[in-house]
Amino acid sequence: MDEFRALFGDEQTDYGAALTRHYTEEPPAGWADRHVSAYATMHPWEDWAETFAHYLHIRDTLQTAAAFRMRIDMPDNPLSAQPAVQIDHEPFETILADWLPLTYLIAVDLAVTRGQLVLPTRSRPGAARADQNRYTRRARRHAQPP
Given 54, 79, 97, the domain boundary residue is 54
Is the residue at 137 inside a domain?
Answer: yes
Q: Are residues 43 and 75 in the same domain?
A: no
Q: How many domains does the chain have?
A: 2
Q: Are residues 41 and 86 in the same domain?
A: no
What pTM was computed for the model?
Answer: 0.65
Q: Say if residue 42's pLDDT is above 70.
A: yes
Is the residue at 108 inside a domain?
Answer: yes
Q: Are residues 38 and 3 in the same domain?
A: yes
Q: Say if residue 80's pLDDT is above 80.
A: no
Mean pLDDT, range 21-42, rounded to an integer: 91
Q: Are 9 and 44 in contact (CB under 8 A)?
A: yes
Range of the domain at 37: 1-54
Query: Mean pLDDT: which of 16-20, 104-108, 134-138 is highest?
Result: 16-20
Is the residue at 63 inside a domain?
Answer: no
Q: Say if residue 58's pLDDT is above 50.
A: yes
Residue 127 binned pLDDT confidence (cut-offs 50, 70, 90): very low
Q: Are 83 and 70 in contact (CB under 8 A)?
A: yes
Helix (H) or strand (E) holding 64: helix 44-67
Angle, alpha carbons 90-93-95 (nearest 5°): 55
Q: Are residues 13 and 80 in the same domain?
A: no
Q: Give the span between the Cα atoms of 119 and 111, in whole angstroms.
A: 10
| Confidence (pLDDT) at 129 | 43
| Confidence (pLDDT) at 105 | 79
| Confidence (pLDDT) at 82 | 65
**If we measure between CA atoms, which residue out of 102, 90, 92, 91 comes closest to residue 62?**
102
Q: Are residues 73 and 112 in the same domain?
A: yes
Mean pLDDT, range 25-45, rounded to an integer: 91
Q: Are residues 85 and 108 in the same domain?
A: yes
Is the residue at 15 inside a domain?
Answer: yes
Is the residue at 72 inside a domain?
Answer: yes
Give me the percent of the chain exceeding a pLDDT of 90.
22
